[in-house]
Chain A
Amino acid sequence: MKSLSVRNLNVWFGEDRNRVDAVRAASFDVPSGGSFGLVGESGSGKSTILRAITGLVPTWSGEIEIDGAHVAHKRGREFYKLVQMVFQDPYASLHPRHSVDHVLSETLHLHGFQDIDTRVNNLLDDVGLGRSFRFRYPHQLSGGQRQRVAIARALAPEPEILLLDEPTSALDVSVQAEILNLLSDLRAEHKLTFVMVSHDLSVVGHMCDSVAVMRDGEIVEILSVEKMRRMEPDSAYTKHLLDVSLNYASAQA
């Protein structure tokens, strides 16, 4: 188990006059084994924070620490053995020409594992896909099955911190519950630290211990899930967000 802490993180795109500040002075701590949620409207910079942590966005400043160790701008393989990410859209995150077996064994190979065959089978068992899925191509899988493959790929290097970028928003409701339960189980089983981005407050309420609410690239408020359930946020924006979310849920029911 590792803890993650982000101090004064700024992320921007473009240069000079075209510069857009996607995240401004974001700070938060995730205790080891904890589960942290990032919520907000689309465009508020939630996913950008994850992409900056993983190094997919190189233009960031501030401090990212894993278990107290500073993360450099150029990340090595050791970093990717600790931190992995599950992407939002399982239709885009799997190579269309690579079979499940290819995806998983390449990942294992890159991380220097030797017993690739047994590990691929174990990973498939872990995410609840039978071994019959091993040699299928993405177009032969449903959205939920694809997301399970993506989760298996993220688990392959045996990471300690898992970043989840709206892992269920591209899936239909019945499958969403399955994937969320799978993630909860895996977290307990592998003792993972979660950082989860979502715009769905009920998902975050179900999965996380504490939540950061974001608006226009800034963290408005960090509150515990109990506080959120009791509808006692400090900031007006969070209150507004909670009200809207409740109204939406009751309108749907």
Chain B
Amino acid sequence: MMPADPLLRIDGLHISFKAGQQWRDVVRGVDLRVAAGEVVGLVGESGSGKSLTALSIPQVLPPGARISSGRIVFDGTDLVGLPRKAMNERRGRDIAMIFQDPLTALNPVIPVGRQIYDSMRTHQAIGHKAALARIEELLALVGIRHPRERMRAYPHELSGGMRQRVMTALAVSSNPKLLIADEPTTALDVTVQAQVIGMLDRIRRELGIAVLFISHNLDLIAEICDRVCVMYAGKVVESSSVESVFAAPRHPYTRQLLRCIPRLDADTGPMPTIPGLPPRFDSDLVGCPFAPRCDEASDRCRTSEPPTWREPGHLAVCWDAA
């Protein structure tokens, strides 16, 4: 029961890849809500479908993948099946995205300031001088010192953290309503990661942009997200406020994931792990897909698909969630 429609509402999203003759579902019925100004974390191991889910929103799925069913309602419009022209207008303006590797996302032969300038003049009715002033403001906002000089730098002249800041400035330059951040700090050093997270936090506070933050590290998600969705084998298996996911995780996968994060504490001895591997996308799933790796699984889990347990603001797909 939402008072108003959320900014983004994904219902029953299925994404499939062609494997031989048939299409195989890799994302298998994802529901996701992001309210205006909210920061939602999407967490899971590689192959869980978290990146595909994110890429499907601006419809930049890799070749060979397609949305086979479901709705992606953004700001009142279903994006699935939207004509290319209408989609192009929204992409980059209302929905912006930053990636793990900023070097491939920035044009290597154009100074970074110019790239932001071009994007702004394309998407907005803004004059030359106003655009330049705004770029300077944005670069300062993402924590780049001497923004006026830095505007003339080429991407290769900047460090990894600086590039990530520039890409973020570029992404938010068109005043998007939603920023999708796909593992933006995974390639960065921890000290730089902390700075980039601080920057994203500042941006969301000052500009009121909703953020969908994708990561495999729950501790990192907890630092800036309001809500978190845990994905496993193409489905959201738990979704709740960050506080309750940490205080009372309902899904064993979430619990085991939380245990695995290396923390700076006094613990020694073997590191906690989740045994085994996530299922391959081309395997047939019977029962709960996590059951083979779950330390609490019973026979029921291995044979029949688990129900969805719900409480206001909290959801878990597990037989024993209650």
Q: Do A and B bind each other?
A: no
Q: Which residues of B pack against A, CB within 8 Å?
A: none
Interface positions of A (Cβ within 8 A of B)? none
